[in-house]
């Protein structure tokens, strides 16, 4: 079976004189799979995501999505950015609307597009605040609008770049549950960058652990064999959850300790 | 039964009264905070007036005292729109003529300046070719352009408008270019992912993102325009507040000059606030951070 999203032998260097940031990253991802990429900050997680998004060009190797090579950004690989990246001069609805108009400008009528925008805002429970500007809503709400905007593009892969990193713990948990629910409902393929071990174990089918840079690569891949739907409350005592969590922790804090912390 | 009805009625009245109080309270508060804010200004004005009066209220003083200004020039203050034919017009009409010139010159500067700023901001080639020229020309004092524009246009009116244009355009160009260059990478990434390109990228992303910068440029521009017009009008004559001041000087009406200066200041202040307000409206949501 060929992978739905095939990341093959990816390497990237920004400066010919400096060592490569990523080398030999090979990661086949199945359709509907939820993949987390975890690693210490600066290891090149976001770089990998940006290559898949098409925002960065790999020096070596390539990415093939659903039989087509990725060589530029596009709405089939919608990104939820770490800092939400909503346009501050547009309301939440207009932000989603801008993306929907771009992607479905030809295939959907004006009324269908308007309905689709509202449907996606309702999916992240932002329907009531749709007419507010990003400056008027909380960080968690902004991130929800960012997710709605990405989902509204009906992407083949949803790319999440540390989407909950800037949020407080309660908001983060709430949003994680929503993302799990949406993933269960829509069956979207997801690639998420994170540095939160619990988050990775809770959400993912597989956790990809990157070694420290420079010349970072995949150190280990852990399959999280937990049935869905998952509940954070029952998982806390689940031996599989605890074992998975311990495995990731061992990788991050024992074998591949952050060089900055070790020094 | 009756008592119950009476009870509700009186309660309704009480509610109505309290809501009236609620509505009046913010107004009273606003009035009060307004007074608190204006009080220091009023005190300052009185102090300046008194000191000025004391300093100039003696025979042989070079400058007129406030009382003398009122005695000499209250006609100017009370009748800004009189027109006795020729150049004997009210201050309002002179100001109006100056404002017309500024409006025309500034509008041209805004249009051409934003367009050039966009060009320099987006194209590295245009930036390398034009920016050094802009940087040199923008340091030329406004009045230095006047003889050249008089030579080119051979008429006072277009020359004055050109001086306004050439004075106001530089900050508009430079700020627009900076705003366009500083569109955050986040917004560019969003545009790339949704494949927003060409003119649509420009109108939906670049322009709104650069709007605060553009309006900063326009605000500096209108201020410089107003500085330049008074000086330019002193030289070209005809009608206008600058000419009025020069004419008053030639007829030794120092009191008239003082009144005119106060008007020039107030109008300049209003122009600045007007552009700032337009900017706040146009750039709502965004801010320079």
CB-based contact A62:A69 (threshold 8 Å): yes
Interface of A with B (CB under 8 A): 53-55, 72-75, 77-79, 81, 83, 85, 87-90, 98-99, 102-103, 133-135, 153
Instruction: Give A134's DSSP letter.
Output: G
The DSSP result for B113-165, as a single string, is HHHHHHHHHH-HHHHHHHHHHHHHHTTS-GGGHHHHHHHHH-SHHHHHHHHHH
Q: Give yes or no for residue B17 having a pLDDT over 60.
A: no
Backbone torsion region of residue B39, taken as left when φ is above 0, otherwise alpha when ψ lies between -120 and 50, otherwise beta: alpha
Q: Is the pLDDT of residue A244 over 90?
A: yes
Cβ atoms A7, A63 nearer than 8 A: yes
> Which chain B residue's Cα is nearest to A86?
B187
Indicate if the pLDDT at residue B14 is higher than 60: no
State the smallest CA–CA distance between residue B186 and chain A in angstroms.
6
pLDDT at A260: 61
Joined together, the tokens standing for residue A74 give 């596009």
Strand A218-223 with A206-210, pairing: antiparallel
The Cα A72–Cα A214 span in angstroms is 25
Better pLDDT: B87 or A205: A205
Q: Per-residue pLDDT tens for B61-79?
A: 888 888 888 888 888 888 8
Tokens 């050439």 belong to which residue?
B166
- Residue A56 exposed, middle or buried by CB count within 10 Å (0-12, 13-18, 19+): middle
Residue B189: its chain A contacts at CB < 8 A? 55, 73, 79, 81, 85
Task: For residues A83 and B196, give the distance between their C-alpha atoms in angstroms, rounded to a whole number.
Answer: 20
C-beta of residue A190 within 8 angstroms of C-beta of residue A183: yes
Nearest residue on chain A to B194, judged by CA atoms? A75
Candidate from A80-84, A184-188, B86-90, B190-194 with smallest mean pLDDT: B86-90
Among B189, B193, B201, pick the best mutation site for testing chain A contact (most A Cβ within 10 A): B193
Q: Which residues of A touch B205 (CB under 8 A)?
A: 87
Write phi, then psi, for A191 (nearest 5 degrees): -120, 120
Cβ-nearest to A85 among B189, B195, B196: B189
Per-residue model confidence (pLDDT) at position B285: 59
The 10 Å Cβ neighbour count of residue B254 is 16
Structure confidence at residue B280 (pLDDT): 86
The full length of chain A comes to: 263
Which residue of A71, A72, A75, A85 to mutate against B (max B Cβ within 10 Å)? A85
| Cα A53 to Cα A197: distance, rounded to the nearest angstrom | 23
Question: 0.80 exceeded by the pTM?
Answer: no
Q: Do B194 and A135 touch (CB under 8 A)?
A: no
Neighbours of B223 (CB within 10 A): 18
Predicted ipTM of the assembly:
0.88
* C-beta of residue A246 within 8 angstroms of C-beta of residue A258: no
Residue pLDDT, tens place only, B162-216? 999 999 999 999 999 999 999 999 999 999 999 998 899 999 999 999 999 999 9
Which among B193, B196, B285 has CB closest to A89? B285
């Amino acid at each position: 079976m060929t992978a739905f999203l095939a990341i093959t032998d990816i390497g990237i260097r920004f400066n010919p004189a400096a060592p490569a940031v990523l080398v030999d990253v090979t990661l086949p991802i199945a359709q509907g799979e939820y993949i987390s990429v975890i690693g210490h900050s600066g290891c090149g997680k976001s770089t990998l995501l940006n290559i898949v998004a098409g925002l960065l060009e790999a020096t070596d190797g390539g990415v093939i999505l659903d039989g087509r090579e990725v060589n530029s950004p596009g709405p089939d690989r919608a990104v939820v950015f770490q800092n939400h990246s909503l346009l501050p001069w547009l309301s939440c609805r207009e932000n989603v609307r801008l993306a929907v108009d771009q992607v479905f400008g030809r295939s959907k009528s004006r009324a269908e597009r308007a309905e689709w925008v509202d449907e996606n805002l309702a999916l992240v429970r932002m329907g009531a605040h749709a007419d507010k500007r990003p400056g008027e809503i909380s960080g968690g709400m902004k991130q929800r609008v960012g997710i709605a905007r990405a989902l509204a593009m009906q992407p083949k892969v949803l790319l999440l770049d540390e989407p909950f990193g800037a949020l407080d713990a309660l908001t983060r948990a709430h949003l994680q549950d929503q993302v799990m629910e949406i993933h269960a409902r829509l069956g979207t393929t997801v690639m998420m960058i994170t540095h939160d071990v619990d988050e990775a174990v809770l959400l993912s089918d597989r956790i990809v652990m990157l070694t420290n840079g420079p010349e970072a690569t995949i150190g280990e891949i852990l399959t999280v064999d937990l049935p869905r739907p998952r509940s954070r409350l029952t998982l806390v005592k689940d031996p599989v959850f605890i074992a998975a969590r311990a495995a990731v922790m061992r990788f991050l804090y024992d074998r591949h300790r952050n060089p900055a912390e070790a020094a | 039964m009756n008592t119950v009805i009476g009870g509700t009625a009186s309660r309704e009245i009480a509610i109505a009264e309290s809501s009236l109080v609620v509505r009046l309270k913010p107004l009273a508060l606003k009035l009060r905070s307004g007074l608190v804010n204006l009080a220091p200004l009023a005190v300052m004005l009185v102090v300046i007036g008194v000191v000025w009066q004391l300093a100039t209220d003696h025979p042989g003083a070079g400058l007129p005292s406030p009382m003398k200004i009122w005695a000499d020039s209250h006609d100017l203050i009370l009748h800004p729109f009189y027109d006795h034919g020729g150049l004997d017009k009210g201050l309002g009409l002179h100001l109006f003529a100056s404002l017309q010139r500024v409006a025309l010159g500034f509008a041209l500067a805004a249009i051409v300046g934003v367009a050039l700023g966009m060009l320099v901001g987006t194209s590295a080639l245009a930036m390398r070719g034009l920016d050094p020229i802009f940087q040199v020309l923008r340091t030329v004092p406004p009045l230095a352009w006047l003889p050249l524009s008089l030579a080119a246009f051979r008429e006072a009116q277009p020359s004055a408008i050109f001086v306004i244009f050439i004075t106001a355009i530089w900050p508009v160009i430079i700020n627009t270019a900076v705003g366009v260059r500083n569109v955050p990478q986040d917004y560019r990434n969003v545009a790339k992912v949704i494949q927003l390109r060409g003119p649509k990228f420009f109108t939906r992303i670049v322009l709104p993102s650069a709007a605060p910068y553009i309006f900063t440029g326009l605000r500096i521009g209108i201020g410089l325009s107003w500085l330049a017009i008074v000086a330019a009008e002193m030289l070209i004559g005809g009608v206008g507040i600058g000419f009025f001041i020069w004419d008053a000087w030639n007829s030794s009406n120092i009191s008239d000059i003082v009144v005119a200066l106060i008007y020039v200041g107030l109008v300049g202040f209003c122009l600045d606030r007007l552009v700032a307000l337009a900017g706040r409206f146009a750039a709502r949501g965004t801010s320079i951070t």
